[in-house]
Amino acid sequence: MRDVDLNRFSRFIALALVGGLVLSPAACRRGGDKPVYPVTGKVFYKGKPAEGALVTFVPLGETNPKRPKSGAQVKSDGTFRLSTYASYDGAPPGRYAVTIIYRSPEQIVDDENRGPDLLEGRYADPKTTPLTVEVKEGTNDLEPFDLPTTVDAK
């Protein structure tokens, strides 16, 4: 009787391991998540890195308001790496409106810029931002966003 229990236990462990191996790729993406690809870029304002700026990629033509948006915060050297489902995982392929909000670094609270938007909202609305990009399968190294020195040139 003891051998029978040991055989059942061994089969259970074997099935659990095989099941884990079969399901492990699915565990990397939640059900319904679209595949994502790495996206990196740079943001400059008046020729200098826009450290702390918030970059968001809003899918063009997307009708599902619950679809996650891809976003990043600009680092001190002006670079950003997009995240959608996990840190720095990238974005699904497609066309995007790019929004950027760059709050004045003169007012910092909890390591975040809290001053007024230095871009005066010109790039804040996905319906009116002039910035668009296309994310493709594979690695996406975007051209830098060199924001104009004045926002009066609307």
DSSP string, 52-114: T-EEEEEETT---TTSPPEEEE--TTSEEE-BSSSTT--B-SEEEEEEEE-B-TTSEETTEE-
pLDDT at 68: 83
Place of tokens 């099935």: 15
Instruction: Reply yes or no on whether the pLDDT at 50 is more than 50.
Output: yes
DSSP 3-58: HHHHHHHHHHHHHHHHHHHHHHHHHHS-TTPPP-B-EEEEEEETTEE-TT-EEEEE
Which whole number is the average pLDDT over 122-149? 94
> Does 40 score more than 70 pLDDT?
yes
d(CA 130, CA 145): 11
pLDDT at residue 26 above 90?
no
The predicted structure's pLDDT at residue 149: 53
What's the pLDDT at 132? 97
Give me the mean pLDDT over the 27-49 stretch.
Answer: 83
Check residue 9 and give its pLDDT: 46
Q: Tens of pLDDT along 66-122?
A: 888 899 999 999 999 999 999 999 999 999 999 999 998 776 667 666 778 999 999
